[in-house]
């Protein structure tokens, strides 16, 4: 668990300007290739957090509005904060049909606190980018009495273990540090780690957890576009990435008919303000 907490801290300890611009090289790819959150997961969240059409939601780090639209279409009034300028533009485009959504180009840290205003604070795969000592207390202060913090997570999309073993050769050759596979047990430990961070903040009670597994098929190009959106690939040297992607592309086309069956777990942690 200590290792997990150190890993999480490594995201939020980066300089704020670095965090703001981290995804800029992959913003379009992120918008195209990252999966949405399944409707049956959203339905559970809405029930647990007791959201109604009168609800006010503050979303922290909305990205290109990956989760935003699922809530916006249910009619909630939303203020969404997004510090990255490229994500901000994409979110504005993706939320154009929704008059009930306002997107602000600012970080949660820099946002002027509106205390006791929101029925829910939502963060979809983003809250680990905010220092815990800032994020949890500020979220609690923004919530009305008995309001809810909703943390959504989409784990990385993964092929079957057999396919992973086959693709592993290319990783061993060009980027051994990226040659990793997370089994079910490992992913459950990661979710448990996130849950314990929420509990340890001391700001929230009655923490609920749920998860849904989804299956999708990505073409070779879609899969490589997706990989480009994950942090370890953003940091990879361009020459190594080019060589790795060329070999992966060849192998997926030759051995797997140009597409991969992938699965991913979507999950939530929901806590009520103390």
Q: What's the pLDDT tens digit per position in 53-66?
A: 999 999 999 999 99
- DSSP-assigned letter for residue 158: B
C-alpha of 231 from chain center: 12
Residue-averaged pLDDT of the chain: 96
Q: What's the pLDDT tens digit per position in 102-138?
A: 999 999 999 999 999 999 999 999 999 999 999 999 9
Mean local confidence (pLDDT), 142-152: 98
Domains of the chain by residue range:
2-157+183-213+265-273
Name which of 195, 207, 205 is nearest 5 in CA terms. Answer: 195
pLDDT at 37 over 70: yes
> Can you give the three-state secondary structure of 92-155, one letter per residue?
HHHCCCCCCEEEECCCCCCCCCCCCCEEEEEEECCHHHCCHHHHHHHHHHHEEEEEEEEEEEEC
Query: What does the chain come to in residues?
Result: 274
End-to-end CA distance of the chain: 25
Q: What is the CA angle 52-152-39, rounded to 5?
A: 60
pLDDT at 2 over 70: no
Q: What is the pLDDT at residue 247?
A: 98
pLDDT at 1 over 80: no
Q: Which CATH number fits domain 2-157+183-213+265-273: 3.60.150.10, 3.40.50.920, 3.30.1360.170, 3.40.50.150?
A: 3.40.50.150
Tell me the pLDDT band of 3, cut-offs 50, 70 and 90: confident
Mean local confidence (pLDDT), 62-74: 97
pLDDT at 80 over 80: yes
Mean local confidence (pLDDT), 29-39: 97
Tell me the pLDDT band of 68, cut-offs 50, 70 and 90: very high
Q: What is the pLDDT at residue 237?
A: 96
Q: What is the pLDDT at residue 9?
A: 87
């Amino acid at each position: 668990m200590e290792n997990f907490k150190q890993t999480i801290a490594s995201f939020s300890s980066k300089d704020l300007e670095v965090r703001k611009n981290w995804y800029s090289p992959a913003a379009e790819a992120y918008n195209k290739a990252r999966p949405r959150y399944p409707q049956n997961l959203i339905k559970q969240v809405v029930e647990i957090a007791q959201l109604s059409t009168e609800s006010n939601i503050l979303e922290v780090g909305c990205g290109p509005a990956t989760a935003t639209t699922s809530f916006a279409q249910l009619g909630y009034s939303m203020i969404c904060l997004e510090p990255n300028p490229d994500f901000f533009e994409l979110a504005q485009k993706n939320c154009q049909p929704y008059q009930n959504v306002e997107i602000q180009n600012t970080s949660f840290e820099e946002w002027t606190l509106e205390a006791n205003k929101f029925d829910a604070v939502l963060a979809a795969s983003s809250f680990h980018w905010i220092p815990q000592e800032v994020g949890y207390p500020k979220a609690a202060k923004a919530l009305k009495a008995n309001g809810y913090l909703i943390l959504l997570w989409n784990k990385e999309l993964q092929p079957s273990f057999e396919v992973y073993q086959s693709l592993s050769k290319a990783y061993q050759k060009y980027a051994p540090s990226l040659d990793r596979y997370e089994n079910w047990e490992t992913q459950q430990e990661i979710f448990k780690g996130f849950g314990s961070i929420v509990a340890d903040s001391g700001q929230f009670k009655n923490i609920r957890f749920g998860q849904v597994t989804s299956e999708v098929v990505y073409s070779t190009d879609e899969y490589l576009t997706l990989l480009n959106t994950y942090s370890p690939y953003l940091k990879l040297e361009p020459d190594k990435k080019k060589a790795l992607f060329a070999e992966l592309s060849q192998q997926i086309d030759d051995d797997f008919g140009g597409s991969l069956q992938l699965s991913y777990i979507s999950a939530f942690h929901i806590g009520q303000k103390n």
